[in-house]
């Protein structure tokens, strides 16, 4: 997604949640410097995603009932949002690409990279200190931002880790995108993050993420499916046994 197309959506998000364009841009600059010797070429994402069946995996409540489906679809490329990484690794399912702003359980993020996942780490104004602490522990990283892209830090679109996974899949030409664990309901999945100090704020972010995915469906050239009981507008229902 071109930055000029994304920026109006970011401006709405910034106003709604009180974010600072200056600190968000600062975070992107910090990440750029931290990964200058360990940044992966984004061509690796194109090779991994283009034309493939992509399963985008969020940390919603239904994720825990999706194990059999994920294990059955071994050849599908799994793009996994932050906290959902723990659920997959505990169930011996390998994530292929991890999209994270480092809110999840760090030990599982480190393990995901160890077993071969491509780590797409997002920078924003609230995680600068964590970037400085965690990035040195990763071997290779692709950076992302919600502001102006800088060297080795890209803006693929999206707001939360979950919807950024879908935007990433679309950006690199996925043939098919299937949403799993992307419920956006009233309940927060237990793998969502280590600690949620403001559930109301979390729900507001989920509502924005859902609207962004609806917007993406109007732009997408991929076939779009959703396994949740309440599919997002623009995504065809995808039946999974057990859900």
Note the pLDDT tens digit of each residue in 32-60: 999 999 999 999 999 999 999 999 999 99
CA neighbours within 13 Å on the CB side: how many for 225? 15
Domain-located, residue 242: no
CATH code where residue 224 lies: 3.90.1480
**Least trusted range by pLDDT, from 93-97, 174-178, 194-198:** 194-198
Are 39 and 141 contacting, i.e. CB atoms less than 8 angstroms apart?
A: yes
* Residue numbers of the domain that contains 206: 3-237
Domain-located, residue 159: yes
Going by pLDDT thresholds of 50, 70 and 90, the confidence category of residue 202 is confident
Domain-located, residue 146: yes
Domain-located, residue 117: yes
Summarize pLDDT for 134-171 with one digit per residue, the tens: 999 999 999 999 999 999 999 999 999 999 999 999 99
Going by pLDDT thresholds of 50, 70 and 90, the confidence category of residue 196 is low
DSSP assignment letter at 216: H
Taking 70 as the threshold, does the pLDDT of residue 195 lie above it? no
Residue 234 to residue 243: CA distance in whole angstroms: 20
Q: What is the pLDDT of residue 182?
A: 94
Q: What is the pLDDT of residue 192?
A: 67
Taking 80 as the threshold, does the pLDDT of residue 187 lie above it? no
DSSP assignment letter at 173: T
Residue 42 to residue 147: CA distance in whole angstroms: 18
Residue 31 to residue 124: CA distance in whole angstroms: 9
Give the contacts of 144 (CB within 8 A, at least 6 positions apart). 99, 120, 121, 122, 123, 153, 154, 155, 156, 164
Q: Tokens 């995108």, residue? A: 177
User: How many domains in the chain?
Assistant: 1
Summarize pLDDT for 78-134 with one digit per residue, the tens: 999 999 999 999 999 999 999 999 998 999 999 999 999 999 999 999 999 999 999
Domain-located, residue 142: yes
Domain-located, residue 29: yes
pTM: 0.95
Beta bridge partners of 141: 39
Taking 70 as the threshold, does the pLDDT of residue 188 lie above it? no
Domain-located, residue 19: yes
Higher-confidence position of 214 and 186: 214
Are 202 and 196 contacting, i.e. CB atoms less than 8 angstroms apart?
A: yes
Q: What is the pLDDT of residue 189?
A: 60
Q: Name the residue among 131, 100, 104 with its Cα closest to residue 31.
A: 131
Q: What is the pLDDT of residue 206?
A: 92
Which is it for strands 236-237 and 223-226: parallel, antiparallel or unpaired? parallel
Taking 70 as the threshold, does the pLDDT of residue 203 lie above it? yes
Return the percentage of the chain with pLDDT > 70, whole number: 93
With H, G, I as helix, E, B as strand and everything else as coil, classify residue 99.
Answer: strand
Q: What is the pLDDT of residue 190?
A: 67
Give the contacts of 64 (CB within 8 A, at least 6 positions apart). 87, 189, 190, 191
Are 29 and 141 contacting, i.e. CB atoms less than 8 angstroms apart?
A: no
Going by pLDDT thresholds of 50, 70 and 90, the confidence category of residue 239 is confident
Domain-located, residue 218: yes
Residue 54 to residue 157: CA distance in whole angstroms: 17
- CB count within 10 Å of CB 178 equals 25
Going by pLDDT thresholds of 50, 70 and 90, the confidence category of residue 200 is confident
């Amino acid at each position: 997604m071109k930055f000029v197309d994304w920026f109006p959506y970011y401006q709405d998000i910034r106003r709604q949640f009180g974010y600072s364009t200056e600190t968000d841009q600062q975070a992107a600059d910090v990440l750029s410097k931290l990964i200058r010797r360990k940044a992966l070429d984004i061509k690796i994402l194109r090779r991994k995603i283009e034309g493939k069946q992509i399963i985008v995996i969020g940390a919603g409540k239904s994720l825990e009932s999706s194990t059999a489906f994920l294990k059955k679809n071994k050849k599908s490329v799994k793009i996994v949002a932050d906290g959902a990484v723990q659920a997959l690794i505990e169930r011996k399912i390998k994530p292929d690409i991890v999209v994270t702003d480092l809110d999840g359980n760090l030990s599982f993020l480190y393990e995901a990279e160890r077993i071969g996942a491509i780590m797409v780490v997002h920078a924003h104004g609230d995680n600068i200190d964590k970037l400085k602490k965690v990035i040195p522990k990763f071997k290779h990283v692709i950076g992302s931002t919600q502001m102006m892209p800088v060297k080795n830090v890209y803006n693929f679109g999206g707001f939360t880790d979950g919807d950024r996974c879908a935007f990433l899949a679309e950006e690199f030409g996925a043939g098919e995108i299937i949403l799993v664990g992307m419920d956006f309901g009233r309940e927060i999945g237990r793998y969502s993050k280590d600690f949620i100090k403001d559930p109301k704020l979390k729900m507001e972010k989920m509502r924005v993420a859902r609207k962004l995915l609806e917007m993406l469906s109007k732009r997408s050239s991929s076939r779009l499916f959703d396994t949740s009981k309440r599919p997002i507008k623009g995504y065809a229902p995808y039946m999974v046994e057990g859900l």
